[in-house]
């Protein structure tokens, strides 16, 4: 498992962890979807069943077929998602800035990851973020 602990000291990550939970925060799932065979991943959260959210996303955006890489139930899904996004940004991962060719939407939760950042790293990152958030709150 790669070490993500050093990232907890970055100002943007600390700001997220220092913020109190909102009244909208409740349990749900955090998930990672892979876009086709690329290194583009969607990291999101849902309060509904994951299979419902996955089907909805596939209906809205018909791009290259998505595969579900990870689905992790957690107590504070929104805070965990915010932490994962901040950790990825601190590691230099870029979000997709341009609109999708297939549906025209600018997907804010899509990250282009380097080829060395495989499925196991995504899995480790989600588990790490979940454990940090659930430990602190």
- Indicate the average pLDDT of the chain: 87
What pLDDT shows up at residue 26?
85
Residue 70 has pLDDT above 80, yes or no: yes
pTM of the model: 0.89
Residue 42 has pLDDT above 60, yes or no: yes
CA 120 to chain centroid, in Å, comes to: 14
C-alpha pair distances (Å), 137 with each of 9, 54, 107, 109: 18, 28, 29, 24
Contact predicate 36/65, CB 8 Å? yes
SS3 percent helix, strand, coil of the chain, rounded to 5, is 40, 20, 40
Domain ranges of the chain: 5-17+28-136
Could you report the per-residue pLDDT of 74-126, keeping only the tens digit for each?
A: 999 999 999 999 999 999 888 877 788 788 888 888 898 888 787 788 899 99
């Amino acid at each position: 498992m790669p070490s993500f602990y050093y990232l907890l000291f970055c100002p943007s990550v600390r700001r997220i962890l220092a913020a109190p939970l909102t009244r909208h925060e409740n349990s749900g799932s955090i998930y990672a979807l892979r876009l086709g065979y690329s290194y583009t991943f969607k990291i999101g959260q849902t309060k509904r069943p994951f299979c419902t959210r996955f089907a909805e996303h596939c209906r809205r955006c018909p791009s290259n077929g998505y595969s579900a890489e990870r689905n992790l139930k957690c107590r504070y899904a929104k805070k965990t998602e915010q932490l994962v996004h901040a950790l990825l940004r601190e590691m230099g991962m870029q979000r997709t800035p341009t609109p999708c060719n297939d549906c025209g939407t600018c997907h804010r939760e899509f990250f282009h990851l380097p080829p060395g950042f495989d499925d196991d790293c995504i899995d480790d990152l989600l588990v790490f973020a979940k454990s940090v958030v659930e430990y602190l709150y």
